[in-house]
């Protein structure tokens, strides 16, 4: 990092400290008539906003009247879908900003305005938003290296392509994969009702050990990345094991943090709705920003090509691993793309159907030709396409499965953050599933078009962007969000701790998904029925 950047970073940190202090001041000033510090965001919003929205009530009554008619209902659903898609698409462009942060804010706003907006727009709005995220999130992930947990599945090839000036290919390939995933998700409808429901019910009582198995394999399958140079056993061992040590260390720290924070939350009860946000911003967003600021170089010149390097064959190759990984995420709590893609990659890798082969020299005594099969060259595209498929099955599928209401799944079978956030305000009804399919299709088409346009814009403005600001401004936004929504100073403290933990895999080249142990270990322990005993054993209760 140059001295100029270090000074710039120091100024920003100083500004943040001052801003945070200023924000904290009103709560400690006894004379201020402002709301007490213990009030939640919803209550603070409620105080000011409801009065302003009263003028809307007559229009709301008119809307309710229109919605008795199917056409009016359809128009409202369409409006909800489009508004959700547009908002989701715009906010997803912010590096490090996760859709669940936005969804959390929207749910809290909904709690305030629920009497003023037709209920029928709620699910389409959120569905549109999450579909847009599945598509547009590729742009910050590829061009600004703003990694969330799931980016592990598609980060390496996309970053490599961006470095070679082919960011357009990366983005569009991911979009094509996501669109293919949309079609797969719709085609899976009979499978969802006739097979997945049974798998869901069979796995239900066994969830704890299935998550445990995934964790065991995940930790045990990280092989030493070092070459093992050295004259003694210990020298070879320590050279090779750096990443494994770092991975195991991260896993242990994240597990302990998870057991503590999920058993005895430090965030005030009124902010519990977004209690997990500081943790994941710390695990994924801030380490990426630090890494980007330290490693930053000028963005490479990008090219707009007429074609992308893939055809239907590649989509076909990517379909099976992408679908398996996506369904894993959609069906098991806490399993994310980074983890599931390791599994599906191990399971479905058919690259060696045709391995590297040695060919005779053209002239005797000259080079042996090592023939690299075409499949090797295509794996980059297959990887990105598969990542796109997984992404939509993970985020959208997990929410869509809430609407699969059958005799054995009367409450649906959805997983994922959005489902958890919406549970208190929304429950699906029979017939919603097919409306949601239409919503997904419309939102997908809009999002794919938006992806193409936004990618072109990004490529045009990328050379003119100040990359320091690109990373630092969203970070400031995230710090404000954590302060306001994630528990104030306590939330910032939690984010600081998890940033330290999340930085270990970044700087020691181990898997970042080890930090997901924060959720997975406590979930497995609690689902198995040991939560109370563990809490007593750790003196947390």
Partner 1 sequence: MKGLTHFVSGVCAASFIPQVVRMSANSGDGSAASFILLLAGAYGVLPDTMDFKLGQFFSIAETELDPDPVKPDPQHMADEFARVINEVGETGKPQRVQFFTSQLGANRWRQYNVVFEPRAIVIQFNEVVSTSQIPFPGTAPPPERRMGRAEFKYELKSRSLEHDWLNDCVRWLRQKLKGPDMPPGPVKPSTVDIFGGPQFGFRKEADGKIYFDWLPWHRTWSHSWVLGFLLTLPVHLLAFGFALNANWAAAGALSAAGKYGELTSLLFTMNSWWLYGAVAFLGFFFHVFEDMTGHIGGALFWPLHKPRSEGLELFKASDPRTNFSIMYTALTLTLWNMDRFTTKVIAFPHWFINFPANIGFRADLWSAKFPFLAGLLEPLGKWARSVSPLNPTLAEWLGHAVTLTLFLVIPMFIYFKFIAWLKPRIVARERERMELTVQNLKVLGQSEYAESAVPQEAADGADLEDVLD
Least distance in angstroms from the C-beta of 461 to partner 1: 27
For the chain, how many helices (H) and strands (E)? 26, 2
Return d(Cα 479, Cα 90) in angstroms, integer.
20
Answer for the pair 302, 162: CB distance below 8 angstroms, yes or no.
Answer: yes
Least distance in angstroms from the C-beta of 98 to partner 1: 26
What is the DSSP code (8-state) at residue 281?
Answer: I
- From 1, 57, 220, 496, residue interacting with partner 1 (rule: CB under 8 A): 220
Least distance in angstroms from the C-beta of 222 to partner 1: 9
Residue (41 or 317) nearer to partner 1, CB: 317
* 346 sits near partner 1 (criterion: CB under 8 A): yes
Task: Give the contacts of 371 (CB within 8 A, at least 6 positions apart).
Answer: 356, 357, 358, 359
Binding pattern for the stretch 278-307 against partner 1, x by CB under 8 A and - elsewhere: -----------------------------x
Count the residues in the chain: 541
Task: Give the contacts of 397 (CB within 8 A, at least 6 positions apart).
Answer: 185, 188, 326, 327, 329, 330
| Bridge partners, 371 (sequence order) | 357
Residue (13 or 163) nearer to partner 1, CB: 163
Residue (127 or 525) nearer to partner 1, CB: 525
Least distance in angstroms from the C-beta of 474 to partner 1: 25
| Bridge partners, 370 (sequence order) | 358
- CB atoms closer than 10 angstroms to residue 205: 9
Return d(Cα 396, Cα 469) in angstroms, integer.
31
Residue (37 or 540) nearer to partner 1, CB: 540
Question: What distances in angstroms separate CA 347 from CA 74, 222, 320, 441, one per listed residue?
Answer: 42, 16, 10, 30
Buried-exposed string 82-121: b where 16+ CB fall within 10 A, e elsewhere: bebbbbbbebbbbbbbbbbbbbbbbbbebbbeeeebbebb
- From 294, 536, 538, 540, residue interacting with partner 1 (rule: CB under 8 A): 536
* 362 sits near partner 1 (criterion: CB under 8 A): yes
* 364 sits near partner 1 (criterion: CB under 8 A): no
Question: In this chain, which stretch among 13-21, 218-226, 261-269, 459-467 interacts with partner 1, using CB under 8 A?
Answer: 218-226
Tokens of 495: 């984010």
Residue (7 or 356) nearer to partner 1, CB: 356
Least distance in angstroms from the C-beta of 40 to partner 1: 32
Residue (349 or 453) nearer to partner 1, CB: 349
* 256 sits near partner 1 (criterion: CB under 8 A): no
Return d(Cα 174, Cα 114) in angstroms, integer.
36
Helical ranges in 149-241 per DSSP H? 155-163, 167-187, 189-191, 197-203, 207-220, 233-240
Question: In this chain, which stretch among 39-47, 177-185, 345-353, 481-489 interacts with partner 1, using CB under 8 A?
Answer: 345-353
- From 123, 253, 523, 527, residue interacting with partner 1 (rule: CB under 8 A): 527
The candidate with the shortest Cα–Cα distance to 334, out of 203, 207, 220, 426, is 207
Task: Give the contacts of 293 (CB within 8 A, at least 6 positions apart).
Answer: 1, 5, 9, 468, 471, 472
Binding pattern for the stretch 56-75 against partner 1, x by CB under 8 A and - elsewhere: --------------------
Return d(Cα 255, Cα 525) in angstroms, integer.
11
- CB atoms closer than 10 angstroms to residue 206: 13
- From 144, 286, 343, 518, residue interacting with partner 1 (rule: CB under 8 A): 343
Residue (114 or 350) nearer to partner 1, CB: 350
- From 3, 58, 70, 358, residue interacting with partner 1 (rule: CB under 8 A): 358
What is the DSSP code (8-state) at residue 285?
Answer: I
Binding pattern for the stretch 395-414 against partner 1, x by CB under 8 A and - elsewhere: -------------x------
The candidate with the shortest Cα–Cα distance to 152, out of 108, 218, 216, is 218
Residue (222 or 432) nearer to partner 1, CB: 222
Residue (30 or 365) nearer to partner 1, CB: 365
Return d(Cα 519, Cα 362) in angstroms, integer.
57
The candidate with the shortest Cα–Cα distance to 512, out of 226, 225, 284, is 284
* 541 sits near partner 1 (criterion: CB under 8 A): no
* 366 sits near partner 1 (criterion: CB under 8 A): yes
Binding pattern for the stretch 170-209 against partner 1, x by CB under 8 A and - elsewhere: ----------------------------xx-xxxxxxxxx
Least distance in angstroms from the C-beta of 430 to partner 1: 21
Binding pattern for the stretch 150-169 against partner 1, x by CB under 8 A and - elsewhere: ------xx--x---------
The footprint of partner 1 on residues 466-525 (CB under 8 A) is 524
Tokens of 353: 């159907």
What is the DSSP code (8-state) at residue 332?
Answer: S
- From 4, 229, 306, 464, residue interacting with partner 1 (rule: CB under 8 A): 229
The footprint of partner 1 on residues 118-157 (CB under 8 A) is 156-157
Least distance in angstroms from the C-beta of 281 to partner 1: 26
Which bin fits 412, alpha (ψ -120 to 50), beta or left (φ > 0)?
left
* 217 sits near partner 1 (criterion: CB under 8 A): yes
């Amino acid at each position: 990092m140059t001295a100029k950047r270090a000074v710039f970073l120091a100024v920003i940190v100083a500004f943040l400290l001052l801003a945070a202090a200023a924000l904290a001041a009103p709560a400690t000033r006894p004379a201020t008539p402002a709301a007490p510090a213990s009030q939640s965001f919803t209550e603070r919003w409620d105080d000011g906003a409801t009065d302003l929205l009263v003028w809307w009530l007559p229009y709301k009554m008119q809307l309710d009247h229109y919605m008795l008619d199917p056409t009016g209902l359809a128009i409202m659903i369409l409006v909800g879908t489009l508004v959700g898609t547009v908002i989701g698409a715009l906010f997803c462009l912010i590096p490090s900003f996760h859709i669940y942060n936005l969804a959390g804010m929207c749910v809290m706003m909904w709690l305030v305005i629920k009497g003023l907006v037709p209920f029928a727009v709620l699910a389409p709005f959120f569905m549109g938003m999450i579909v847009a995220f599945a598509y547009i999130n590729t742009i910050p992930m590829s061009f600004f290296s703003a990694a969330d947990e799931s980016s592990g599945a598609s980060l390496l090839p996309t970053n490599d392509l961006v470095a070679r000036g082919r960011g357009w290919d990366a983005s569009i390939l991911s979009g094509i994969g996501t669109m293919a995933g949309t079609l797969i998700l719709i085609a899976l409808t009979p499978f969802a009702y006739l097979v997945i429901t049974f798998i869901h019910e069979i796995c239900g009582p066994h969830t704890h050990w299935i998550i445990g198995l995934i964790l065991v394999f995940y930790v045990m399958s990280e092989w030493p990345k070092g070459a093992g140079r050295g004259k003694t056993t210990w020298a070879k061992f320590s050279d090779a094991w750096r990443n494994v040590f770092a991975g195991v260390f991260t896993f242990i720290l994240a597990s302990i943090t998870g057991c503590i924070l999920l058993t005895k939350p430090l965030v005030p009860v009124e902010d519990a709705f977004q209690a997990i946000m500081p943790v994941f911003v710390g695990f994924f967003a801030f380490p990426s920003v630090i890494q980007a600021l330290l490693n930053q170089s000028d963005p490479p010149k990008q090219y707009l090509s007429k074609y992308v390097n893939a055809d239907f064959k590649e989509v076909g190759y990517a379909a099976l691993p992408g679908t398996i990984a996506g369904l894993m995420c959609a069906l098991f709590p806490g399993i994310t793309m980074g983890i599931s893609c390791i599994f599906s990659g191990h399971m479905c890798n058919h690259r060696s159907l045709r391995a590297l082969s040695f060919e005779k020299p053209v002239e005797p005594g000259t080079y042996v030709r090592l023939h690299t099969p075409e499949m090797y060259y295509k794996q980059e595209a297959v990887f990105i396409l598969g990542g796109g498929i997984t992404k939509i099955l993970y985020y959208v599928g997990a929410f869509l499965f809430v609407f699969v209401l059958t005799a054995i799944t009367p409450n649906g079978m959805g997983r994922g953050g959005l489902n958890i956030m919406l549970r208190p305000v929304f429950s699906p009804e029979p017939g919603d599933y097919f409306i949601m399919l239409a919503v997904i299709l419309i939102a997908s088409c809009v999002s794919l078009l938006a992806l193409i346009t936004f990618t072109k814009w990004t490529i045009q403005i990328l050379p003119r962007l100040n990359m320091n600001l690109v990373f630092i401004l969203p970070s400031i936004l995230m710090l404000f969000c954590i302060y306001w929504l994630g528990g104030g100073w306590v939330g910032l403290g939690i984010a600081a701790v998890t940033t330290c933990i999340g930085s270990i895999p970044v700087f020691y080249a181990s898997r970042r998904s080890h930090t997901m142990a924060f959720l997975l270990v406590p979930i497995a322990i609690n689902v198995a029925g040991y939560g109370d005993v563990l809490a007593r054993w750790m003196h947390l209760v």
